[in-house]
């Protein structure tokens, strides 16, 4: 893993924005104040449920009656091909050929999840029909798996509804609708309940120890002792710890980066009369450093989190125009 100092010196602003959006870093502004809530839990969610054993357990938590389902019945259809779809989601499962489950993890509630889910579902169906070369313009009916949409909410707001509907966002009324069910910890001990408990423990340890390796170690220890995702964490403790520590480091980098951006702006203002020539040189050097830093960040996400090249670039906010450049650099 890169050192904090090396990452800090090369972190572009679009990286800061993309990590805030994807990793649950939510910024809210009040009167002269900026508050950020950082979570690494959403990335752990994706890592847990991309494992076949846990994908099956996720389905069984939602459909406990289907005890005959096997790991082979649960195919991962999470959106990752950002170059063609322009989006990605947390977890997508196709169960046999009859059901598509899309499940998102949210620590901060957003009423817009129903709209996002509609876009994820449309992209998932697009991939489904293209993979099977289905003729959408023919006269024969095309059959598709029925959808179920869920969000696992791990925050503390008591007023979050049990379901969200796309129609609640309409300007006026409309017949078409999308329903998203909200899941919380329910005390049953199923895999969803365990994930929510993992998030609570992670929050408690972060409050005690800050965004540190100690917080990660204590989260792991408590979860294993309290039988929260215990088999998973016991066998993949190093990988999960690396994910959490990496994202904690990135959060620290963003804070330091913000400070240095503000400090640079102040110094530039004081030296405005003489800065034009130097600014051009700084811009060239900064652009070169940003490219190098972004490339290293893509490699880190691929190595530490198992992301595809496309998803890594999307998480880092790499523009569509720059994606082929980085894809080519990764081949070298």
- pLDDT tens for the chain, 332 residues: list them: 444 334 333 444 444 444 444 443 333 333 332 333 334 555 788 889 999 999 999 999 999 999 999 999 999 998 875 444 456 788 999 999 999 999 999 988 888 999 999 999 999 999 999 999 999 999 999 999 999 999 999 998 989 999 999 999 999 888 889 999 999 988 999 999 999 999 999 999 989 998 888 999 999 999 999 999 999 999 988 888 887 877 666 655 555 555 555 556 555 555 555 455 555 555 555 566 667 778 877 887 777 666 778 877 876 778 888 888 888 888 88
Please tell me the predicted confidence (pLDDT) of residue 308: 78
**Does residue 165 lie within any of the structural domains?**
no
Is residue 54 assigned to a domain?
A: no
- Give the residue carrying structure tokens 């959106």: 79
pLDDT at 289: 61
> Facing residues of 103 across strands?
91, 150
- Bridge partners of 105? 152
State residue 62's pLDDT score: 96
| Each residue's pLDDT tens digit, 46-66 | 889 999 999 999 999 999 999
Whether residue 118 lies inside any domain: the answer is no
User: Does residue 202 belong to any structural domain of this protein?
Assistant: no
> So what's the pLDDT on residue 228?
96
Report pLDDT for 192.
96
Contact 145, 88 (CB under 8 A): no
DSSP state of 1: -
The secondary structure of 228-292, three-state, reads CCHHHHHHCHHHHHHHHHHHHHHHHHHHHHHHHHHHHHHHHHHCHHHHHHHHHHHHHHHHHHHHH
Task: Give this prediction's pTM.
Answer: 0.66
Residue 135 forms part of a structural domain = no
Give residue 16's domain range: 1-23+239-332
Whole-angstrom distance, CA of residue 103 vs CA of residue 113? 11
Q: Please enumerate in sequence order all residues whose Cβ is within 8 A of that of 52, keeping only pairs 6 or more positions apart, or say none.
A: 71, 74
Residue 181 burial (CB < 10 Å; 0-12/13-18/19+)?
middle
Residue 1 lies in a domain: yes
Distance CA 147, CA 128 (A): 12
Domain membership flag for residue 279: yes
The total domain count for the chain is 1
Chain position carrying tokens 């990496």: 246
Would you state the pLDDT for residue 137?
A: 95
Which backbone phi and psi does 96 adopt, to 5 degrees? 50, -135
Specify whether the CB–CB gap between 26 and 39 falls below 8 A.
no
In a domain, 327, yes or no: yes
Strands (E), the chain: 26-29, 34-37, 74-76, 91-95, 99-106, 146-153, 163-165, 179-183
Rounded to the nearest 10 degrees, how much is the dihedral formed by the CA atoms of 88, 93, 96, 100? -70
DSSP 94-105: EETTTEEEEEEE
Question: Residue 133 and residue 293: Cα distance in Å, rounded?
Answer: 40
């Amino acid at each position: 893993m890169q050192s904090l100092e090396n990452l800090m010196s090369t972190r572009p602003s679009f990286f800061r924005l993309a990590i805030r959006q994807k990793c649950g870093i939510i910024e809210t502004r009040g009167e002269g104040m900026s508050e950020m809530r950082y979570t690494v839990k959403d990335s752990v969610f994706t890592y847990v449920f991309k494992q076949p054993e846990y994908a099956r357990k996720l389905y069984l938590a939602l459909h406990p009656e289907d005890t005959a389902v096997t790991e082979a019945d649960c195919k991962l259809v999470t959106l990752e091909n950002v170059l063609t779809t322009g989006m990605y989601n947390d977890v997508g499962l196709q169960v046999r050929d009859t059901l598509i489950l899309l499940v998102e993890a949210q620590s901060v509630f957003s009423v817009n999840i129903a709209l996002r889910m509609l876009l994820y579902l449309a992209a998932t169906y697009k991939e489904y029909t293209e993979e099977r070369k289905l003729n959408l313009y023919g006269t024969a009916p095309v059959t598709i798996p029925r959808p179920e949409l869920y969000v696992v909410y791990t925050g503390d707001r008591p007023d979050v509804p049990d379901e969200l509907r796309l129609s609640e966002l309409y300007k006026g009324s409309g017949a078409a609708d999308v329903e998203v069910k909200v899941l919380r910890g329910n005390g049953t001990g199923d895999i969803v309940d365990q994930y929510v408990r993992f998030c609570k423990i992670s929050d408690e340890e972060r409050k005690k120890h800050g965004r540190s390796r100690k917080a990660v170690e204590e989260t792991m220890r408590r979860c294993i002792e309290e039988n929260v995702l215990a088999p998973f964490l016991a066998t993949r403790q190093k990988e999960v710890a690396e994910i959490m520590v990496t994202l904690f480091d990135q959060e620290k980098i963003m804070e330091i980066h913000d400070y240095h951006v503000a400090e640079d702006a102040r110094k530039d203002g004081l030296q405005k009369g003489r800065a034009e020539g130097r600014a051009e040189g700084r811009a060239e050097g900064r652009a070169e450093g940003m490219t190098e830093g972004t490339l290293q960040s893509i490699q880190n996400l691929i190595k530490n989190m198992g992301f595809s090249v496309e998803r890594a670039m999307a998480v880092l906010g790499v523009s569509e125009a720059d994606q082929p450049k980085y894809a080519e650099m990764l081949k070298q």
